[in-house]
Structure 1
């Protein structure tokens, strides 16, 4: 399973935490999210990829008080299993929630993990 995952932490800004195996995940991210707009919850298929966005399930906020969004480009067979934001959250959140728990409080921006 491969994901591009972009989010922000309490003190660090929006960045890619998983690159989905791409050297430059921004190109794929822009391709998939280009027609999505700024909705807080999104599931949108773009060919074999999916754009999934939802607010942090634990309601975490950054130091400015903004709810943390999680943006994913869902790749491969997992994209075929998702047909709504709710289904995407149910399938994707367990895959990254522990990782985000560890990164959340870091004072410095973490690097892309994979």
Structure 2
């Protein structure tokens, strides 16, 4: 499974926590999220990938009080299973929930 995951924590800024095996995940991330507005929740198919954004399912916020978004770029074959934000949340959140829960409020995440 190839997966890019970007988010921020309570005390640390937006960063990639999973790079999908790319030395620089930013071009793949930009390609997937191109043309997607800053909506709080997004499920957008872009070729062989899905751009997925949803708010932290556990309601966590950063130190400024902003809702924490989780943004994923999901490639095939898992992308074929995702048709909605709900599908993505159901399939992806269990894969990252524990690691994020351990690190979200630390000063600097190395997840």
- Shorter-chain TM-score bucket reads over 0.9
Partner residue, 1:70? 70
TM-score scaled by length of structure 1: 0.94
Q: Which runs of 5+ in 2 are unaligned?
A: none
Q: Deviations over 1:4-28 (max 9, x none)?
A: 0000000000000000000110000
Taking the TM superposition and a 5 Å limit, the aligned residue runs for 1:87-102 are 87-102=87-102
CA separation in 2, counterparts of 1:67 and 1:87? 20
Instruction: Say what the alpha-carbon RMSD is for the aligned residues.
Output: 0.9
SS of the counterpart of 1:54?
A: strand
Q: 4+ residue runs of structure 1 moved beyond 2 angstroms?
A: none
TM-score scaled by length of structure 2: 0.96
CA separation in 2, counterparts of 1:43 and 1:16? 19
CA separation in 2, counterparts of 1:62 and 1:83? 29
Partner residue, 2:41? 41
CA separation in 1, counterparts of 2:105 and 2:2? 25
Q: Which runs of 5+ in 1 are unaligned?
A: none
SS of the counterpart of 1:5?
A: strand
The count of residues paired between Structure 1 and Structure 2 equals 111
